Chain A
Amino acid sequence: MNEFARALLAPVTWRMALRNVWRNPRRTGVVLLAIGIGLGGVVLAMAINYGMIFQMVDAAIRTDLGHVQIHGAGFQKEPGVEIRLPASLVAEVRAAAPPELRATAARVRAQGLASTSHGNIGVALLAIDPLREPEITDLQQALVAGRWLDAASRRALVGARLAERLKLEVGEKLVVSAQDVHGDLTAEAFRVGGILRTDSLPIDERSVFIALRDGQRILGMHQEVSELVLVARSNDSDEINALRDALRARLPGELEVLAWHELRPLLQYMVDVFRQTAWVTYAAIFVAMAFGIANVLLMSVYERIRELGILMAIGMKPGRVVALLLSESLLLTLSGVTAGLVLGLLGVAALSDGIDLSRWGEGLVSFGIPTRIVPELPLDDLATPITIAVITALVSGIWPALHAVRIVPSEAVRHI
Chain B
Amino acid sequence: MLEARAVHKVYDSRGAETHALSDMSLRISEGEFTVLAGPSGSGKTTLLNLFGGLDEPTSGQIRLDDQDLAACTRSELAELRLRKLGFVFQAYNLIPVLTAVENVEFVMELQGVARAERRRRATGMLAELGLGELTSKRPLELSGGQQQRVAVARAIVSQPRVVLADEPTANLDSTTAGGLLDLMQTMNRERGVTFLFSTHDPMVIERAARVVRLRDGRVVADETATSL
Residues of A that sit less than 8 Å from B by CB: 3, 10, 12, 15-16, 19-20, 23, 306-307, 310-320, 408-410, 413-414, 416
Contact = CB atoms under 8 A, between A and B. Distances in A.
Contacts of A20: 97
Interface string B75-95: 100110111011101001111
A211 B102 CA distance: 82
A122 B166 CA distance: 97
Interface stretch (B105-113, B127-135, B203-211, B220-228): B105-113
B191 interface: no
A15 B89 CA distance: 24
Contacts of A15: 102
B96 A3 contact: no
B92 A19 contact: no
Contacts of A3: 75
A313 B81 contact: yes
Contacts of B52: 313
B106 A314 contact: yes
A406 to B, nearest CB: 10
Given A311-B95, A315-B81, A318-B74, 10 more contacts: A16-B97, A314-B82, A314-B110, A315-B79, A316-B78, A317-B74, A317-B75, A318-B78, A409-B54, A410-B55
B49 interface: yes
B23 to A, nearest CB: 20
B8 interface: no
A313 B75 contact: no
A323 to B, nearest CB: 12
Contacts of A16: 95, 97-98
A27 to B, nearest CB: 15
Contacts of A318: 74-75, 78
B149 interface: no
B44 interface: no
| Shortest Cβ-Cβ A-B pairs, 6 listed | A315-B82, A19-B97, A410-B55, A410-B54, A410-B49, A409-B54
23 contacts: A3-B75, A15-B102, A19-B97, A20-B97, A310-B93, A310-B94, A310-B95, A311-B95, A313-B81, A314-B87, A314-B154, A315-B78, A315-B107, A316-B78, A317-B75, A317-B82, A317-B110, A318-B78, A408-B55, A409-B54, A409-B55, A413-B166, A414-B45
A319 B79 CA distance: 12
Does more than half of chain A's interface fall in helix, strand or loop, or is it mixed? helix
B227 to A, nearest CB: 32
Contacts of B78: 312, 315-318
A12 B102 contact: yes
Nearest to A409: B54
B87 A313 contact: yes
A232 B33 CA distance: 86
A313 B49 CA distance: 9
A312 B107 CA distance: 11
Contacts of B86: 314
Nearest to B86: A314
Contacts of A12: 102, 106, 109
B96 A307 contact: yes
Contacts of B85: 315
Contacts of B111: 315
Interface in B140-161: 154-155
A416 B89 CA distance: 13
B40 to A, nearest CB: 12
Nearest to A16: B97
A414 B87 CA distance: 14
